[in-house]
Chain A
Amino acid sequence: MNAGSSQSRLRSIATTVAVALTLTLAAAAGCDSRQEPDLPSVQEKLRESHIYGQSKLRIGVATNEPLMGELRNGQHYGFDVEIGRYVAASLGYEGDQRLEFVSVSTEDRIPALQGGTVDLVVSSFSITEDRKKLVSFAGPYLVTTQEVMVPTRLKDKIRTIEDLRDPIYKVCTSGGSTTEAELEKHQVRTFVVKDVGDCVDGIREGRYDAVSSDEAILAGFLASFPKEFELVDMPFGTSELLGIGVPIGDPALRDLVAFFLQKSYEQGRDGQASPWQTAYNRTLGPWLRAEKRQPQPLDVPKLVDFDDKAPRR
């Protein structure tokens, strides 16, 4: 009897505790559901970035790199342009009315970002440690290697880096590019011009004998003059990581661009048609010797967006 009553007392205490805990949990859940979300969201980052409220987004692109960034009849074409359009649309700038492509030459890319004449640069911009001190990068969105393109008449003569060192050949490259530094490292004397396009024109006019730049840019010129040039595979050690340049004072914008590149990367990885793949197929795809995939972007922040609740599978 006594044991029974103490058991029932224990039982009623357990019930009381259970009721009290359930009520507490329910109250905590109620409070939690009314709290502001503490995860950083895309909207919040947009508000922090300098482009918030801007009526137009200005993207710096190249105008004379076929397949990457080219100006034809007043329209911008190319892989970089397509990537720029995707990023702009993700940021809320869709259509020509809200998007302005600004022509920047290879050497003007950093000053344009620093001076605020463009909001983003998508122009075969290689990510390097030195440049990172001046501008921020989101990406990479393309990994390329350095290549050399020679006119068909020289395709049997220039085969190695050693051949390039021969002073009888004039090697041309664009100023302020990573190629320039790389060639210097290999003690190749170079003629530095403004853009790779100038090198190509120079070769066609007989002023230079070879041009070195990254694979994607050269593929563009090869597509323009398929009969006149040939790519020579040379073992330059470094790969080029192309990134989207962002002003260094705007980490929020960098995060957003990286986030949207990652979104495209994830779509492609899941076997869906990603914006990157579409841009690639429409421009570079048919002209590169080896097929490329979108590289995984680095330093991607975890941001919350409206489509976070959508099923993943």
Chain B
Amino acid sequence: MSTTPTATDGPVPPPRASVPGDTAATPGVDVPTAVDADSARWPAGVPVAEPAEPVVAAVEPGRVRWDPAERRARASQSFWTAVVGVPAIFSVLRLGVEAGGELQTTLLLVANVGPVNLLAGFLTTAARLLSTGLVAVFALGAVLAVSVDRLPPGTRRPLFARWADLTPAWVVLASFLLALLTWPLLYLPLLLPAIVAAFQLRPGRLHERVAPRLLLIVALLAAYGWLVLPTLRDAVEQGGERLVLALIVVPPVLALFIAGPLPGMVIRPLASVTEVAVLAMLVWAALPVISTPVLPLTVTTVGAENGPTEDVRGHVVTTDDVNMVILQERGGVRYVPVDQVRAQVLCPSEEELPRHRLRIHDFHVEDSLLEGMGRRVRPVHRIDAACRAPG
């Protein structure tokens, strides 16, 4: 803070009056006067740090207005608050859902699930949602921003346009990269029009002359076609996969036309409708993220030596010298004595069952690039017999 005195050997300064000196940090008020009032009571010999230049904001008298730098600082502050706070809140909410709404079970989970694990677990499942939200906001924001520029000056800029203006290009690029890595392959073509819109890349950028430009576009489309043609053939053979066909074929074509301003009459409704839609989408997509389990699903075979055994399907919360604490899939917590645990296997959950039977060059369409690469590192997937048993 500019008016904070530096610590020296002098006497301890008396408590400072909160009014009006503290307001010195906020521009827009009469700063020099405040400093004067403060220094009147300042002990002699204690140096006073004064701003090199008095902050004079060009504002209308009588009205407090943030200058752009301050505004950006506050925006960045709220951004980081959101970045840290939202996952934290979501993670805690998730624990409550995971515990089946039981207070004591929630407390058990809170006591045993470390914050870092919780956050990492959250990011694993929410990275897709996060990147979707960011991509949607940046793409729409850029489209609205370029359109509003054509309207008469003084028109209020839509929210997304302002956000897009504020965000540095590398953040936008990073969001797209995150989406590229975490989105299912089937939805990746949608990133094409989105990135073209976000950076307003008109086909003219490819080459200044028409013929080479067309040639480049045809070459790009041909490469894309080589990539997806076998998949398209499978989709046609399987029938009833119209959405898959549309999702693969249409977006690259749309990418050619999406850059550019929209007509004035469309902007206002589009801005408000998409704001609501993106919010609704985030809420709707957040629900499954909240209900995704925090702990891995296992089946534990429990039983005394040579006696009958029982399979307990659930999530292992913790294991100590005496007990293994299992949160059962259907609800309730089981404390299983450690010496009765005969076997334990990791199981997939039914939400992981694929919805389509299509592959793009041996990558399943519902896998993200990251997941697909992971499957190449560990190609064999064994489902243990115990996982088939009813829960």
Interface residues of A (CB under 8 A from B): 9, 11-19, 21-23, 25-30, 32-35, 37-39, 41-43, 46-47, 52-53, 89-94, 97, 302, 304-313
Q: B193 to A18, Cβ gap below 8 A?
A: yes
Q: A25 to B258, Cβ gap below 8 A?
A: no
Residues from chain B with Cβ under 8 Å of A33 in the complex? 184, 187, 355
How far, in whole Å, are A306 and B194 apart by their CA atoms in the complex? 32
Q: B390 to A53, Cβ gap below 8 A?
A: yes
A contact face: mostly helix, strand, loop, or mixed? helix
How far, in whole Å, are A29 and B384 apart by their CA atoms in the complex? 32
Stretch at the interface among B28-36, B59-67, B244-252: B244-252
How far, in whole Å, are A47 and B353 apart by their CA atoms in the complex? 15
Residues from chain A with Cβ under 8 Å of B353 in the complex? 37, 41, 43, 304-306, 308
Is B285 interfacial (CB-CB < 8 Å)? yes
Q: B367 to A309, Cβ gap below 8 A?
A: yes
Q: B257 to A17, Cβ gap below 8 A?
A: yes
- Chain B residue at minimal CB-CB distance from A31: B243
Residues from chain A with Cβ under 8 Å of B379 in the complex? 310-311
Q: A18 to B257, Cβ gap below 8 A?
A: yes
Is B143 interfacial (CB-CB < 8 Å)? yes
How far, in whole Å, are A309 and B251 apart by their CA atoms in the complex? 24
A308, A310, A313: the one contacting B357 at CB < 8 Å is A308
A93, A311, A312: the one contacting B385 at CB < 8 Å is A93
Number of residues from B at the complex interface, CB < 8 A:
62
How far, in whole Å, are A309 and B263 apart by their CA atoms in the complex? 44
Residue in A17, A23, A41, A89 whose Cβ sees the most chain B Cβ within 10 Å: A23
How far, in whole Å, are A46 and B389 apart by their CA atoms in the complex? 9
- Chain A residue at minimal CB-CB distance from B267: A16
Min CB distance A148 to B, Å, is: 41
Residues 23 to 76 of chain B near chain A (Cβ within 8 Å): none
A18, A30, A43: the one contacting B281 at CB < 8 Å is A30
A14, A38, A92: the one contacting B388 at CB < 8 Å is A92
- A15-B257, A22-B258 in contact; A91/B388 too (CB < 8 A)? yes
Q: A14 to B257, Cβ gap below 8 A?
A: yes
How far, in whole Å, are A88 and B288 apart by their CA atoms in the complex? 34
Min CB distance A211 to B, Å, is: 38
Q: A12 to B263, Cβ gap below 8 A?
A: yes
Min CB distance B279 to A, Å, is: 14
- A19-B270, A33-B184, A34-B288 in contact; A308/B385 too (CB < 8 A)? no
- Chain B residue at minimal CB-CB distance from A256: B388
Min CB distance B298 to A, Å, is: 15
Residues from chain B with Cβ under 8 Å of A302 in the complex? 357
How far, in whole Å, are A274 and B258 apart by their CA atoms in the complex? 52
Residues from chain A with Cβ under 8 Å of B380 in the complex? 310
Q: B143 to A92, Cβ gap below 8 A?
A: no
How far, in whole Å, are A33 and B352 apart by their CA atoms in the complex? 12
- Chain B residue at minimal CB-CB distance from A39: B357
- Chain A residue at minimal CB-CB distance from B348: A306
How far, in whole Å, are A94 and B266 apart by their CA atoms in the complex? 63
Per-position binary interface string of chain B over residues 351-386, scored 1 when its CB falls under 8 Å from any chain A CB and 0 otherwise:
011111101001110110001000110011111111
- Chain B residue at minimal CB-CB distance from A15: B260
Q: A12 to B261, Cβ gap below 8 A?
A: yes
How far, in whole Å, are A94 and B359 apart by their CA atoms in the complex? 32
- Chain A residue at minimal CB-CB distance from B387: A92
Residues from chain A with Cβ under 8 Å of B382 in the complex? 307
Q: B383 to A305, Cβ gap below 8 A?
A: yes
Q: B260 to A11, Cβ gap below 8 A?
A: yes
Is B239 interfacial (CB-CB < 8 Å)? no
Residues from chain B with Cβ under 8 Å of A43 in the complex? 350, 353, 388
Per-position binary interface string of chain B over residues 222-249, scored 1 when its CB falls under 8 Å from any chain A CB and 0 otherwise:
0000000000000000000001001100
Residues from chain B with Cβ under 8 Å of A308 in the complex? 353-354, 357, 364
- Chain B residue at minimal CB-CB distance from A305: B383
Q: B357 to A46, Cβ gap below 8 A?
A: no
B274, B364, B375, B385: the one contacting A23 at CB < 8 Å is B274
Q: A90 to B385, Cβ gap below 8 A?
A: yes
How far, in whole Å, are A302 and B190 apart by their CA atoms in the complex? 30
- A19-B197, A19-B262, A93-B385 in contact; A52/B390 too (CB < 8 A)? yes
Q: A19 to B366, Cβ gap below 8 A?
A: no
Residues from chain A with Cβ under 8 Å of B109 in the complex? none
Is B14 interfacial (CB-CB < 8 Å)? no
Q: B262 to A15, Cβ gap below 8 A?
A: yes
A18, A26, A39, A309: the one contacting B190 at CB < 8 Å is A26
Residues from chain A with Cβ under 8 Å of B136 in the complex? 26
Extra contacts, 19 of them, besides A14-B260, A302-B357 (Cβ < 8 A), are A15-B143, A16-B266, A22-B258, A26-B190, A28-B246, A29-B186, A29-B243, A30-B285, A34-B288, A37-B353, A39-B357, A43-B353, A89-B385, A91-B388, A304-B353, A305-B353, A305-B383, A307-B381, A309-B366
3 smallest A-B Cβ distances: which pairs? A92-B388, A94-B385, A309-B364
How far, in whole Å, are A90 and B371 apart by their CA atoms in the complex? 25
How far, in whole Å, are A140 and B380 apart by their CA atoms in the complex? 26
- A33-B184, A46-B388, A92-B388 in contact; A19/B350 too (CB < 8 A)? no
- Chain A residue at minimal CB-CB distance from B240: A38
Is B259 interfacial (CB-CB < 8 Å)? yes
- A29-B247, A92-B385 in contact; A12/B260 too (CB < 8 A)? yes
Q: A92 to B308, Cβ gap below 8 A?
A: no
A-B contact pairs, 14 of them (CB 8 A): A17-B257, A22-B254, A27-B277, A32-B243, A41-B350, A43-B350, A47-B390, A53-B390, A304-B353, A304-B357, A306-B353, A309-B354, A309-B381, A311-B375
Residue in B197, B260, B359 whose Cβ sees the most chain A Cβ within 10 Å: B260
Q: A12 to B385, Cβ gap below 8 A?
A: no
Residues from chain A with Cβ under 8 Å of B277 in the complex? 23, 27
Residues from chain B with Cβ under 8 Å of A23 in the complex? 274, 277
Min CB distance B161 to A, Å, is: 14
Q: B258 to A18, Cβ gap below 8 A?
A: yes
Is B78 interfacial (CB-CB < 8 Å)? no
Min CB distance A210 to B, Å, is: 43
Is B340 interfacial (CB-CB < 8 Å)? no
How far, in whole Å, are A92 and B354 apart by their CA atoms in the complex? 20
